[in-house]
Amino acid sequence: MKRYIYPAYLLLLLITSLSACKKNDPDYFGKTPTERSTAALSKYQTQLTSAPNGWKAILYPNGGGIYLFSIKFGADNRTTMLSDIDAETSTTAVQSAYSIKQLLAPSLVFDTYSYIHLLSDPTPALPGGNQGSGYSSDFEFSFDKMSGDTITLIGNKNGSKLTLVKAATAAEYTSFTTGTSIVFDKLSVLRTYFKRITIGGIDCELNIDKVNKILSLSYLDGNTNFKTVSSNFYIDGTTNNIVLSTPLLVGKTSITTIEKITGDAVNHTVNLTVNSNAIQIKEAIAPLKYDLTAAATFFNKPSNGAYWSSNTGFTVDNVSDAYKVSTIPNFGFLLFYPAYRPTYSRLGFISNNAYGAYGPAPVASFPANGKIVFNNFGSFGTAPAAIAPIVKATSDKFFDPNGYYVIATGPKTYDLVNATDARAWISFY
């Protein structure tokens, strides 16, 4: 075996040549790393600004939901933006600044406050967002892939996914964000919490979570097991179709889109098509299958160990915060404190992180049908005259003698649905 011994000067020459390679030295392609980075950023900038009708953007925040944006990127590093967050943002454009920067990777940064920032606002700015993080979304995105008229990006902090697709026409750009409000308005003719739909001969309970954009279908599988399939969705305003991010399988029927949605405000039904088949959604006043243990679990295991909270009080006939609890000055949340004392609970109207010196003392009972029923033990005081109607309306509804179905909507979230006609409910977390 031969051993090769290299002269010291050769090793020194090798080390010297390696150390002389600086980051701005030309590479094999005749450009420095800085020049290549600048060229890449310029390429992305040109790509964004070369869409004459702007971009249709779909944002998947890490904290849940799907949100749509119509965005135009100007050569002056300004954006014009619409969003389907609500009816106003879908038609009222805002301008903000953006930049293309080399961070850990070439990145699109929305520099000044825009509709995209609402989803990561720690306030939170949107109902359902978490205090301190909103929807755990992003406003700095690394470029991931570019293919034809589509660009995909990944959030630098939370990993949210952003997809940009070139709008084919100016009309497509404008209408992309309006479909959400339009379709939700059509669905609002259904006044009840429970909604029934038959797919492929199978009766299903339909639930549409408008905040987190989740559509669920629950049905009896073989008449014994209660099965639920769910998917995130968005509503494409160019077609007003509900587009599911994951196909839903009910029996042998696979559902990817829901089309031709129309509402009948007289009969309180919604007509639509699935796979070209005409289907109707109808109101229902009871669940397809009910968990008889849910009421006791709700009462005995509050989300934080002591009480439940609601941000909006009762929804009635699809009108959120029907009794306007959120308009109470300095309103924090509506509190339900089970077993506040051994003989009664507490329904409190909380402001400035303190108990309101008013509100009723409910006593809960649990009949054999699995519902929860509240009776009034007394009152904690008299509400100020200005908000007394709000407190009374909320309390009166809480004490409906027919009680409530208790529906688990998550590991630590419940809806109480009025058992009289299922047209009023309150969500607790």
The pLDDT tens digits for 52-81 are: 999 999 999 988 789 999 999 999 999 999
Grade residue 14 by pLDDT with cuts at 50, 70 and 90: very low
CATH 2.40.128.640 boundaries in the chain: 33-177
Above 70 in pLDDT, residue 5? no
33-177: CATH, from 1.20.1560.10, 3.30.300.280, 2.40.128.640, 2.120.10.30: 2.40.128.640
- Cite the residue boundaries of each domain of the chain with CATH code 2.40.128.270: 294-428
**What's the chain's average pLDDT?**
88
177-220, pLDDT tens digit by residue?
A: 999 999 999 999 999 999 999 999 999 999 998 888 999 999 99
Among 8-12, 300-304, 317-321, 407-411, the least confident range: 8-12
| Average pLDDT of the residues in 379-402 | 94
pLDDT of 311 over the 70 cut: yes
Of 35-39, 111-115, 322-326, 340-344, minimum mean pLDDT range: 35-39
- 195-284: CATH topology is Lipocalin (2.40.128)
Q: Averaged over 244-252, what is the pLDDT?
A: 95
Task: Quote the pLDDT of residue 228.
Answer: 94
Q: What is the 3-state secondary structure (H, E, C) of the chain?
A: CCCCCCCHHHHHHHHHHHHCCCCCCCCCCCCCHHHHHHHHHHHHHHHHHCCCCCEEEEEECCCCCCEEEEEEECCCCEEEEEECCCHHHHHCCEEEEEEEEECCCEEEEECCCCHHHHHHCCCCCCCCCECCCECCCCCEEEEEEEECCEEEEEECCCCCEEEEEECCCHHHHHHCCCHHHHHHHHHCCCCCCEEEEEECCEEEEEEEECCCCEEEEEEEECCCEEEEEEEEEEEECCCCEEEEEEEEEECCEEEEEEEEEEEECCCCEEEEEECCEEEEEEEECCCCCCCCCHHHHHHHCCCCCCCEEECCCEEECCECCCCCHHHCCCEEEEEEEEEEECCEEEEEEEECCECCCCCEEEEEECCCCCCEEEEEEEECCCCCCCCHHHHHHHHHHHCCCCCEEEEEEECCEEEEEECCCCCEEEEEC
pTM of the predicted model as reported, rounded to 2 decimal places: 0.80
For domain 294-428, give the CATH number.
Answer: 2.40.128.270
The pLDDT, as a whole number, for residue 29 is 52
Average pLDDT over residues 31-40: 71
Above 60 in pLDDT, residue 322? yes
pLDDT tens, 95-127?
999 999 998 899 999 999 999 998 876 554 454
Residues of the chain with pLDDT > 70: what percent? 87
